[in-house]
Chain A
């Protein structure tokens, strides 16, 4: 069975400070990892996925199979980054997603 763990429910940082949202997963197969973001009163939307290896809105995430982690990072937090972030694991032929419990990021001025 697959599992996604996001240990922090809330992460508060100051504007301009580095951000790291932690995500660990458990899966016996070859995982596909995603980060989704939900801004206030908006729907869930894809932020990035590990196979794309791209940076979106200054965020990056590297899949570390040895540590089974997929932490989300940004060097300088912006106020508009305040949102709920979910890490998700895609598995199975239909790419079913298993979500973590989410981390609320609050960027303070």
Chain B
């Protein structure tokens, strides 16, 4: 149990276009989802915390208008990279925590590799 999927697993886009990444909890309800960014050979950096039905909370230095997060249901959160540029190329990872279990751990998705040309 507690499986998180991401779609797509990789995407290549042109500079200036927008890209949407989906994060789904397949067998549980996730009241909280997290979005991370990972650069090559570096650690995961938390971008934002997403709570179902409310606005996401962004970490310092993360542009809200650049990285749009929507958590419309208990099993789906989306990250849209708007007007993508080459510097947005990275590995984006989401995680989800089960609802009603405040001490539960985070379950991670497999990640999405974004390459902006």
A residues contacting B by CB (< 8 A) are 34, 36, 42-46, 49, 51, 86, 94-102
Q: How many residues of B are counted as interface, with CB atoms below 8 angstroms from the partner's CB atoms?
A: 22
A43 and B46 within 8 A (CB) = no
A105 to chain B, nearest CB (A): 15
Chain B positions within 8 Å of A, measured between CB atoms, are 32, 34, 42-46, 49, 51, 57, 93, 95, 97, 102-103, 105-111
List 6 A-B pairs, minimum CB-CB distance, nearest first.
Answer: A44-B108, A43-B110, A101-B43, A99-B43, A99-B44, A46-B105
A43-B108 in contact given A94-B49, A96-B49 (Cβ < 8 Å):
yes
Q: What is the CA–CA distance of A98 and B44 in the complex, to the nearest angstrom?
A: 8
CB <8 Å contact, B34 and A97: yes
**Do residues B43 and A94 form an inter-chain contact, with CB atoms below 8 A?**
no
